[in-house]
């Protein structure tokens, strides 16, 4: 029985069988006899989540534009189908050809969140590919590669991957595949290819870097093999307005998490919120023109048939031509009866004009990120949002007909006190009171609803808070109880994250390659889908850490020294470490730093890539 027949035989025994058979509209099928390099793009979570990922859509289409390269998709099977696969010896396969991915040249993973790490090992094992890089054949093939935001500290996964790609992949991915194609024709070995690939800017090959540690467990030094760059710099797209963007998406048969067209409007962020990793690792700030955004939106809607569009960015309302952009999009989407979604709105530049545009395309509640419950704490994290701005934004929303507001906060931020936690409840109550003080407020059933979502702060690499410890589980649980006890109104709904999940996230985010055996041990104990509440088992992870002699608090609850060698210091994401140190010190003084359009703060990114900072930012630090 061939593999396709084996798969089809069991499809009716699982939930959502369309996850596993391919054949969707827009998927790319090629003649294998004409293909020189095959690339399996693997998302380490289910189809429903992975098919919502914009990066996969871009790189899938870009690679497949080359006639002799074939990029196919692969996702983590759910538990029911995995059991069938293992019982019936069905290896992990790609959806386009239904061929086992172990036969591909590249097995590429995108690392979007740390809690997917165990899934990566599980997928490699399902594919029949050795989990550890050292156990793979020296022949050229089965190159296990990864990109994505978590690659800014890939050390906890260093033993499992052949190479990592730092930064943006639109250009470097094809450079890597082109190099592989040429070396494959010459009969090169895996090692020869990896040494050559390490010379490409943005490519990190962990086996060429060797860590030594001090008695206290911190890093003493890093030795680098001869001929290998001591520092690996991330790749960026310099001409963002002309960067490749797909004209078509694969349209799933089944509903996915974000079942719509996504159009990227900008990369990077001008704000400098000190907790936000994306705001630093995606620098420099670049935006597409309103005309380019409109053209891409129209083309994708026409080609896919989707009736919903979402604008993707870190802060959509920071686009310098947002009024013109929205006017173009609204005229088109309204005429075609297409829903337009505008996430990532800022409190401090929300206006009645913007609200009126939003009301034409979205009737649900508004969501804003306040992050801190008091002005002092918002200054610590450099949110640069005042309470007056928060209240004014809510007033504009309420007067404009809205009766539902959702606010995002974080808990466990540096210097946070109980007063800051109580401040979250008090701010929410003031918003409730504001609603009832407005004479022309909405009179619908139920009145106002203020939803407060509290995430546990996770210090991340390449942020000013990379040096900070995370609150212990006991501290977070105390603050959660305090928040609930301080909330008096039934009009306020409180939700918060599991402290154990956040602790595992920070361990994997700030760890070094000594965590590799622990991740392997956790997977062997049955850990997978750790971002799913029903699968997460922290006790298994603690057992794995204990078995490997690892103290989780060393990574999670210890302050890192400014002069300490960090696990990611040999990777250059263009932001100067001296700037991060300076911003950390400024945070502890509760002093804010202006955004990039107001004044250059001296992060060093534009200088390194030969770009000018914003025209209005003439000063330097």
Give the residue among 590, 354, 559, 588 at the shortest CA–CA distance from 470: 559
Kindly list the distances between the CA atom of residue 49 and the CA atoms of 52, 53, 57, 61, 596, in Å, as whole numbers in the listed order.
5, 7, 13, 18, 33
- Read off the pTM: 0.94
Tell me the C-alpha distance between 220 and 216, whole Å.
10
| Residue 565: predicted pLDDT | 98
Contacts of 246 (CB under 8 A, 6+ apart): 57, 58, 60, 61, 62, 300
List phi, psi (to 5°) of 6. Answer: -60, -45
List phi, psi (to 5°) of 214. Answer: -80, 170
Q: Are the CB atoms for 278 and 250 separated by under 8 Å?
A: no
Token pair for 111:
């690392």
Q: Are the CB atoms for 407 and 385 separated by under 8 Å?
A: no
- Other Cβ atoms closer than 10 A to 618: 9
Average pLDDT score over the chain? 93
State the residue for tokens 């005042």: 386
Q: What percent of the chain has pLDDT over 70?
A: 95
Cα 395 versus chain centre, distance = 32
Q: Are the CB atoms for 27 and 95 separated by under 8 Å?
A: yes
One of 3.40.50.280, 3.40.50.20, 2.40.50.140, 3.40.50.1260 is the CATH number of 3-233, namely 3.40.50.280
Q: Are the CB atoms for 410 and 452 separated by under 8 Å?
A: no
Tell me the C-alpha distance between 176 and 499, whole Å.
40
Q: 364-576 in CATH: which number?
A: 3.30.750.200
pLDDT above 50 for 516? yes
Q: Are the CB atoms for 262 and 208 separated by under 8 Å?
A: no
Indicate the angle between helix axes 473-486 and 499-510, nearest 10 degrees.
140
Confidence band for 369, pLDDT divided at 50, 70 and 90:
confident
Tell me the C-alpha distance between 342 and 315, whole Å.
10
Sheet holding 143-147, edge to edge: 69-75, 37-43, 106-110, 143-147, 163-165, 203-204
Buried b (16+ CB within 10 A) or exposed e, 165-183: bbbbbbbbbbbbbebbeeb
Coil, helix or strand at residue 67: coil
Contacts of 327 (CB under 8 A, 6+ apart): 357
Token pair for 142:
């089965």
Buried b (16+ CB within 10 A) or exposed e, 356-373: ebbeebeeeebebbbbbb
3-state helix/strand/coil string of 82-116: HHHHHHCCCCCECCCCCCEHHHCCEEEEECCCHHH
Tell me the C-alpha distance between 480 and 499, whole Å.
10
| Residue 224: predicted pLDDT | 98
Cα atoms in the 13 Å half-sphere on the side-chain side of 119: 27
Tell me the C-alpha distance between 253 and 305, whole Å.
13
Q: Largest Cα–Cα distance of the chain, in whole Å?
A: 78
Tell me the pLDDT tens digit for each residue of 380-421: 999 999 999 999 989 988 888 888 899 999 999 999 999 999
Tell me the pLDDT tens digit for each residue of 304-354: 999 999 999 998 888 999 889 988 998 999 889 898 887 656 666 666 666
Query: What's the rounded mean pLDDT across residues 48-67?
Result: 96
Q: Are the CB atoms for 28 and 64 separated by under 8 Å?
A: yes
- Other Cβ atoms closer than 10 A to 340: 23
Tell me the pLDDT tens digit for each residue of 266-311: 999 999 999 999 999 999 999 999 999 999 999 999 999 999 999 9
The DSSP bridge pattern shows strands 163-165 and 203-204 to be antiparallel
Give the residue among 570, 611, 601, 54 at the shortest CA–CA distance from 284: 611
pLDDT above 70 for 360? no
| Residue 351: predicted pLDDT | 65
Tell me the C-alpha distance between 67 and 64, whole Å.
7
Tell me the C-alpha distance between 15 and 526, whole Å.
21
Tell me the pLDDT tens digit for each residue of 158-199: 999 999 999 999 999 999 999 999 999 999 999 999 999 999
Tell me the C-alpha distance between 167 and 47, whole Å.
24
- Give the DSSP H/E element, type plus range, for residue 183: helix 169-185
Confidence band for 4, pLDDT divided at 50, 70 and 90:
confident
Tell me the pLDDT tens digit for each residue of 552-573: 999 999 999 999 999 999 999 9
Whether residue 315 has a cis bond before it, omega within 30° of 0: no
Give residue 173's region: left, alpha or beta (phi > 0; psi -120 to 50).
Answer: alpha
pLDDT above 90 for 366? no
pLDDT above 50 for 620? no
Locate the domains of the chain by residue range: 3-233, 364-576
Q: Are the CB atoms for 119 and 162 separated by under 8 Å?
A: no
Tell me the pLDDT tens digit for each residue of 211-269: 999 999 999 999 999 999 999 999 999 888 889 999 999 999 988 988 899 999 999 99
Coil, helix or strand at residue 294: helix
Token pair for 588:
């502890």
Tell me the pLDDT tens digit for each residue of 65-107: 999 999 999 999 999 999 999 999 999 999 999 999 999 999 9
Tell me the pLDDT tens digit for each residue of 387-398: 999 999 899 888
| Residue 342: predicted pLDDT | 73
Task: Give the lowest-confidence range in 361-370, 488-497, 507-516, 598-607.
Answer: 361-370
Confidence band for 616, pLDDT divided at 50, 70 and 90:
very low
The per-type count for the chain, helices as H runs and strands as E runs, is 21, 19
């Amino acid at each position: 029985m061939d593999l396709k027949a084996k798969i089809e035989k069991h499809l009716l025994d699982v939930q959502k069988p369309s996850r596993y058979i391919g054949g969707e509209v827009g998927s790319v099928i090629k003649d294998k006899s004409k293909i020189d390099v095959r690339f399996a793009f693997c998302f380490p979570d289910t189809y429903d989540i992975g098919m919502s990922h914009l990066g996969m859509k871009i790189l899938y289409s870009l690679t497949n534009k080359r006639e002799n390269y074939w990029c196919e998709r692969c996702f983590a099977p759910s538990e029911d189908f995995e059991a069938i696969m293992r019982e019936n010896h069905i290896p992990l396969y790609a959806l386009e050809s239904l061929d086992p991915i172990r036969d591909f040249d590249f097995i590429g993973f995108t690392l979007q969140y740390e809690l997917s790490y165990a899934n990566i090992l599980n997928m490699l094992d399902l594919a029949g590919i050795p989990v550890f890089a050292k156990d793979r054949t020296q022949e050229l093939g089965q190159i296990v590669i990864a990109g994505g935001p978590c690659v800014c500290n890939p050390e906890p996964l260093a033993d499992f991957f052949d190479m990592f790609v730092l930064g943006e992949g639109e250009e470097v991915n094809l450079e890597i595949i082109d190099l592989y194609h040429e070396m494959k024709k010459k009969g090169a070995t895996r090692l020869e290819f990896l040494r050559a690939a390490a010379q490409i800017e943005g490519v990190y090959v962990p086996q060429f870097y060797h860590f030594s540690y001090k008695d206290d467990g911190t890093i003493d030094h890093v030795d680098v093999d001869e001929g290998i760059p001591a520092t690996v710099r991330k790749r960026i797209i310099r001409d963002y307005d002309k960067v490749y963007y797909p004209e078509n998406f694969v349209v799933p048969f089944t509903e996915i998490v974000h079942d719509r067209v996504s159009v990227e409007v900008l990369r990077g962020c001008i704000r400098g919120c000190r907790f936000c990793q994306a705001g630093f690792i995606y620098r420099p700030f670049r935006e597409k023109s309103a005309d380019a955004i409109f053209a891409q939106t129209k083309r994708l809607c026409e080609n896919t048939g989707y009736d919903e569009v979402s604008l993707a960015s870190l802060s959509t309302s920071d686009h310098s031509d947002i009024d013109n952009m929205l006017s173009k999009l609204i005229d088109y989407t309204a005429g075609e009866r297409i829903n337009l979604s505008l996430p990532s709105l800022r409190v401090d530049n929300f206006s009645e004009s913007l609200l009126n545009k939003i009301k034409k395309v979205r009737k649900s509640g508004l969501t804003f990120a306040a992050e801190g419950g008091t002005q002092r704490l918002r200054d610590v994290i450099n949110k640069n949002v005042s309470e007056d701005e928060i209240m004014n934004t809510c007033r504009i929303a309420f007067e404009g007909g809205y009766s539902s507001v959702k606010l995002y906060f974080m808990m466990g931020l540096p210097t946070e006190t109980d007063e800051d936690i109580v401040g979250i409840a008090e701010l929410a109550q003031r918003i409730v009171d504001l609603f009832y003080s407005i004479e022309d407020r909405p009179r619908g059933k139920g009145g106002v609803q203020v939803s407060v979502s509290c995430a546990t702060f996770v210090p991340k690499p390449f942020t000013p808070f990379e040096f900070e410890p995370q609150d212990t589980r006991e501290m977070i649980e105390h603050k959660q109880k305090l928040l609930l006890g301080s909330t008096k109104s039934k009009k306020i709904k409180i939700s918060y994250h599991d402290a154990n999940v956040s602790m595992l996230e920070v361990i994997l985010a700030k760890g070094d390659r000594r965590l590799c055996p622990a991740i392997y041990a956790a997977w062997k104990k049955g850990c997978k889908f750790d971002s799913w509440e029903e699968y997460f088992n922290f006790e298994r992870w603690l057992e794995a850490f204990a078995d490997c002699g690892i103290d989780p608090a060393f990574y999670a609850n210890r302050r890192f020294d400014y002069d300490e060698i960090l696990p990611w210091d040999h990777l250059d994401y263009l932001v100067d470490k001296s700037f991060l140190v300076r911003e950390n010190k400024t945070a502890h003084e509760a002093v804010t730093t202006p955004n990039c359009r107001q004044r250059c703060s001296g992060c060093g990114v534009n200088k390194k890539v030969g770009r000018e900072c914003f025209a209005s930012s003439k000063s330097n630090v």
